Amino acid sequence: MSEQVGRAGFHAVHTKRASERGAILDEMMRELDPDAVVRWAARNPSIVVADEVENEAYVNDCSGGFRRCTDKQEVLDYGEARLRRVRRKIAAPKVDPATGEEKGGTTTTTMLVTHLPKSLCVEVPDYYPVLYKKGPRKGEQKLDEDGQPRYRSRWVARDKDEARRYFDDVGEIIANHLSPGGHDGILGRDDQYSETTPHAQWLLDAFADDPKHDGSLKAAGSTFWFAHKGRMAELHQRLKDELIARGWDISPDFDEKRHAYGHAKAEYGDIEDERDRVTERAQRVVDDDAKLNDWDDRLRDKRDALRDKEEALDERERALAGLEKDTEETRTRLELDTSALDEQRRAFEDDEVPRLRRKAVTEGAREGREQVTKELGHLEDTRRALESQLRALAEHEKRLQETPQLFDEFLDRKDKNGRSYRPIFERFVDQRLAQFEREHDVAGEMTLEAGDREQFIRDGGKTLGAEVTQLKIERERERSPGR
């Protein structure tokens, strides 16, 4: 294995929407959120989930350094505080009606990626399989010219303390030469050791101190990053020169094209891997701007969709509560009507039937029979109408009992990413149970038995509330037996 040459550089992605910072940090500081780790590992096969704990997130400490970050919101809050100091209105990009593309607007945010030089790493050969990423064979492992499965190496820091010192030096160079706002303009940083090569990601804003207005900031991204045609090459060279001056083993004149030719057959796989990586990085540069612009819209749409689903579930719960109330009222009304009908029947049989029979004797059997038949027919019509109402009530109760099945069918449906809505509903139930415990002063004391959670979902806690109240009364009686 030949000695690796250390190289230094950076990859920069700019955006004009400050609202995209949340999406950037979701990937950049994913180790702070277990759900984000799972989500991004599914998208990026280079992520080694077991090593995510090695990653280190930092936020600007407002004192010329960084402190460890435990929540990406700390970075967002620091950036928002600086946005509020921008004196002039930040212009949003506008859509060109001719092309449909966004143009103009103020650059607000930059993400930089700097890799640890391979001269500071240890190679782990044949760690990742080389896969087809597009086409009909996507996901299949590639083969070399001899038909053997191809693998690519992983590079890990040979000394994590040394890697941290390297990224600290890079941070100072960025603050002095690559950040429009100096160190204050670096919102956060994340040192990542869980992918193919150790690297640091830096989130910068594009604002500098306004010399004409003390305490205010002004937009400086365009003039800083795009001052002239060779500006980016100039900044790359500045980073490399500063690192060499600080004693790091960085090559000042490494030529990738020259070193990509003339290799022996044994090095064929390494050459192909490097070409794949170069192609992927070039494509990523092309895709990143569109992807970052699209992230915020997609995240906002998903947030709105989740809010709509939550509101629909709340409305469904309110409708069920109303149906239960209406059913109980209808049942009570029908029971009263049935009781009244029974009273009328008994009164008719006790009083009216004998009277009509006497009337039949005195006024003629025929007329009396017709009157009895008429009255009995009226009672029979009333009975049939009441039975029809009872059947309708039974059918209504049957539909109400089937509602949980409809809930289950809805909650087990999958969104376009194949994820179920059930976890959202279950978290909502857990929140309602916690609220129930606080309202009934039983927080930390209540243990649900089999069927209690399902009953809580069906009646919103009515049955469980009655049981808790009865249990409190019984306990009070046990404590005061003489009362």
Report the percent of the chain where pLDDT is more than 90.
41
Q: Tell me, what's the pLDDT at 269?
A: 36
Is a pLDDT exceeding 80 seen at residue 375?
A: no
Lowest mean pLDDT among 48-57, 173-182, 377-386: 377-386
Provide the b/e sequence for 461-479 (b: ≥16 CB within 10 Å): beebeeebeeeeeeeeeee
Q: Tell me, what's the pLDDT at 133?
A: 85
Where does the pLDDT of residue 165 fall: very low under 50, low under 70, confident under 90, or very high at 90 and above?
A: very high
Q: Tell me, what's the pLDDT at 82?
A: 96
Is a pLDDT exceeding 50 seen at residue 1?
A: no
Q: Tell me, what's the pLDDT at 324?
A: 75
| Mean pLDDT over the full length of the chain | 82
Task: Summarize the confidence of residues 223-229 as an average pLDDT.
Answer: 90
Q: Tell me, what's the pLDDT at 360?
A: 56
The pLDDT tens digits for 262-292 are 333 233 334 435 544 554 555 566 566 566 6
The pLDDT tens digits for 139-160 are 899 998 888 999 999 999 999 9
Is a pLDDT exceeding 80 seen at residue 46?
A: yes
Task: Summarize the confidence of residues 296-309 as an average pLDDT.
Answer: 79
3-state secondary structure labels for all residues of the chain = CCCCCCCCCCEEEEECCHHHHHHHHHHHCHHHCHHHHHHHHHHCCCCCHHHHHHCEEEEECCCCCEEECCCHHHHHHHHHHHHCCECCCCCCCEECCCCCCEECCCCCEEEEEEECCHHHEEEEEEEEECECCCCCCCCCECECCCCCECEEEEEEECCHHHHHHHHHHHHHHHHHHHCCCHHHHEEEEEEECCCCCCEEEEEEECEEECCCCCCCEEECHHHHHCCCCCHHHHHHHHHHHHHHHCCCCCCCCCCHHHHCCCCCHHHHHHHHHHHHHHHHHHHHHHHHHHHHHHHHHHHHHHHHHHHHHHHHHHHHHHHHHHHHHHHHHHHHHHHHHHHHHHHHHHHHHHHHHHHHHHHHHHHCHHHHHHHHHHHHHHHHHHHHHHHHHHHHHHHHHHHHHHHHHHHHHHHCCECCCCCECHHHHHHHHHHHHHHHHHHCCCCCCCCCCCCHHHHHHHHCCHHHHHHHHHHHHHHHHHHCCCC
Nearest CA-CA partner of 95 in 304, 302, 297: 297
Whether 188 and 69 have beta carbons less than 8 Å apart is answered as yes
Q: Tell me, what's the pLDDT at 253?
A: 64
Q: Tell me, what's the pLDDT at 311?
A: 82
Q: Tell me, what's the pLDDT at 478?
A: 83
The pLDDT tens digits for 114-123 are 999 999 999 9
Task: Summarize the confidence of residues 226-248 as an average pLDDT.
Answer: 92
Q: Tell me, what's the pLDDT at 312?
A: 80
Where does the pLDDT of residue 41 fall: very low under 50, low under 70, confident under 90, or very high at 90 and above?
A: very high
Q: Tell me, what's the pLDDT at 264?
A: 31
Lowest mean pLDDT among 21-30, 177-186, 258-267, 296-305: 258-267
Rounded-to-integer distance, Cα 435 and Cα 456, Å? 12
Is a pLDDT exceeding 50 seen at residue 161?
A: yes
Is a pLDDT exceeding 70 seen at residue 430?
A: yes
Is a pLDDT exceeding 60 seen at residue 135?
A: yes
Where does the pLDDT of residue 235 fall: very low under 50, low under 70, confident under 90, or very high at 90 and above?
A: very high
